[in-house]
């Protein structure tokens, strides 16, 4: 299954609705939970979660350091041509961009 297929299968409208209507209590509960679901993510980015940004940032930092340690990674794409099969909207090389290949 491709990323696009997976993405299109997400219940996006329901998640947006959940984010719009989440309570502060739900956002706090999602911040404390160990394994965050999509519903928890919706709570965390909801307007009700605005006051939890500092705590959310600390949790994010802890998780990042747990998984990757204190490192800085740099990625440098190496382009051999300007042809690409993908269609990233921000990229000048994207498939549908009518440039000379
Ligand atoms: S469209 Fe651009 S950013 Fe997207 S994969 Fe291709 S080269 Fe990379």
pTM: 0.63
The two three-digit tokens of residue 70, written as one number: 């204190």
More reliable by pLDDT, 65 or 77: 65
- What is the whole-number distance in angstroms between the Cα of residue 6 and the centre of ligand 1? 20
b/e for 53-75, b at 16 or more Cβ within 10 A? Answer: eeebeeeeeeeeeeeeeeeeeee
Model confidence at 72, in pLDDT bands (50, 70, 90)?
Answer: confident
Distance of alpha carbon 47 from alpha carbon 27, whole angstroms: 9
Q: Which atom of ligand 1 is nearest to the CA of 95?
A: 1
pLDDT, residue 23, reads 96
pLDDT digits (tens, 9 = 90+) for 83-100: 999 999 888 999 999 999
Distance of alpha carbon 6 from alpha carbon 67, whole angstroms: 24
- What is the whole-number distance in angstroms between the Cα of residue 7 and the centre of ligand 1? 18
Q: Which atom of ligand 1 is nearest to the CA of 92?
A: 2
């Amino acid at each position: 299954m491709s990323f696009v297929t997976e993405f299109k299968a997400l219940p996006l409208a329901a998640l947006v609705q959940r984010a719009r209507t989440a309570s502060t209590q739900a956002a706090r509960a999602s911040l404390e939970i160990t394994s965050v679901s999509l519903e928890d993510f919706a709570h965390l980015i909801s307007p009700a979660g605005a006051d939890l940004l500092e705590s959310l940032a600390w949790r994010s930092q802890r998780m990042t350091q747990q998984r990757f340690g204190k490192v800085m990674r740099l990625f440098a794409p190496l382009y051999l041509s300007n042809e690409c099969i993908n269609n990233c909207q921000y990229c000048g090389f994207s498939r549908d961009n009518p440039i000379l290949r």
